[in-house]
Amino acid sequence: MLLDENIIDRILNDLWITSNYEELKKICRFVSKSYDVDDLLHTCVEQFLVNKKVGELDNAQKLYFFTKIVKNQFHSQTSKYYYQFKKSQSENLFDIEIVDEQYEEDPFNMNWVRKQLDDMKQTKDWYYGRLFELYIEEGCSITNVSKRTTIPINSVSRDINKVRKELNKKRNGLRM
């Protein structure tokens, strides 16, 4: 008799899945954002059919229950769906061979920088030119420049960045 009830529940669940198949597919498409809908759907249907609680649910609850299964399967990294489909696909992304290329920065012309700083010192921007020269002498250390000049570190940093941006603008303007 117990076997007959299990068979009847199984048949009713199969009929429910068949009659709601398109709705279930829409749920999977919505949750997965159209990512591998069929695989997700069939994994979730399989889990739905083997779950013992399904026989106790009415049709509206079954839909909610199925939706929860879909969300758990898709978003979990320990789900059956993840191990069967998503993990293998994400591992394949890393199998692509990327050739390392040596990064070469544009050659930095220190003579050009010194000339720009000398030009700054000849004009009203002498402070910025001299501060940046100290910055270079101190091994590009804002802290050392601040200690040497007793100018607050925030002011030194702000002024060095201002000169650096100005030099980059001039340098990039020459390349065009």
User: How large is the average pLDDT for residues 3-30?
Assistant: 73
Give the orientation angle of helix 153-175 with respect to helix 110-122, to 10 degrees: 120
Residue 163 has pLDDT above 70, yes or no: yes
Work out the number of other CB atoms within 10 angstroms of the CB of residue 33.
Answer: 8
Q: Which of 75-89, 133-147, 151-165 has the lowest mean pLDDT?
A: 75-89
**Contacts by 123-130 with C-beta closer than 8 Å and gap 24+?**
127/159, 128/159, 128/162, 128/163, 128/166, 129/163
Q: What is the pTM of this model?
A: 0.45
Percentage, residues of the chain above pLDDT 70: 78
pLDDT on residue 63: 82
Q: What angle do CA 31, 35, 41 make, to 5 degrees?
A: 65
